[in-house]
Amino acid sequence: MKSHQSLIVIITIISFSISILTSFLLTTNNKLQSNTICNVDCNNNNNNNSGLPLLINSHNLKVLIGNTVDAKYDTKLITLDKTTQMPEIHGFYDIVSTQISKMYNNDLIFTINLDDDPNKNKKYESTYLWLISQLDPLNDHNQVFTIIIPNFGSESNFRIKGWYLAIYDNINNKYSLPLSRIDKMTDNKVEITIDPNFIGGILDFNYTTAVMIRVNDTFLDKQPDYLIDSSPDDNTFWSKWFL
């Protein structure tokens, strides 16, 4: 029985890596691998019309469907793009835990709990990412989406300020949700609610999360400057994502 279960786990991990590799090749023609994933079963009916992202009413929560726990004080600057600017690391870059919940209307709540208030960002672009993948090898139909939640500091030189949300379909190479404004964010966490149709209405998926920062506000059409934390911890995966 144990060997059978181990085989299933190995097959699942290999399939996930193939799915991510497929999406990455479509967008950048480069390779990447990941061995740290989290499995969740959303089991939604996709019968809602919630539209644009909303802030959360916690009384509408139905069930927790996935979570990770991450060590505090494990943040560090990992260079993704050459820059001479060295930002100070704050608690709002430090992932403490993540969770995904489903509301009674089947909307999904994505939460990244942090060690400080992310609204304190003043100078830079802080970006919180979810990479979501669903496997359907029998029908050769894999889905990969990136949920992008940037915050442009109020004292930065970026043209726009505040919180935004975008969802990118990596397989079809297009945005399922273009950049949309979020009026505010909760304290000590980055939390958004979305209609599952924005991620293809998928029933189950693997996910990983990361926090990145852009200090260079001159050249925006490129990757962030630094990776700071990820959960599950897999800095190698996220570093290769942009190579």
pLDDT category, 214, cuts 50, 70, 90? very high
- Residue 168 domain boundaries: 2-241
Residue 71: pLDDT band by 50, 70, 90 thresholds? very high
Cα gap 69→91, rounded to integer Å: 16
Q: Is 209 helix (H, G, I), strand (E, B) or coil?
A: strand
Residue 50 vs residues 103, 144, 226: alpha-carbon distances, Å: 12, 21, 34
Whole-number percent of the chain with pLDDT over 90 = 45
Rounded Cα gap, residues 212 and 229, in angstroms:
7
Min mean pLDDT across 15-29, 106-120, 132-146, 213-227 is at: 15-29
Q: Which of 171-185, 186-200, 222-236 is the least confident region?
A: 222-236
Predicted confidence at residue 216, as pLDDT, reads 78
How far apart (Å, rounded) are the C-alpha atoms in residues 140 and 176? 21
Q: Reply yes or no on whether the pLDDT at 152 is more than 60.
A: yes
**What's the domain count of the chain?**
1
Per DSSP bridges, beta strands 174-182 and 95-103 are unpaired
User: Quick check: 237 and 131 in contact, CB under 8 A?
Assistant: no
State both tokens at 56. Answer: 């959360």
pLDDT over 50 (residue 19): no
The mean pLDDT of the chain is 77
CA gyration radius for the chain?
Answer: 17
Q: Which pTM does this prediction carry? A: 0.75
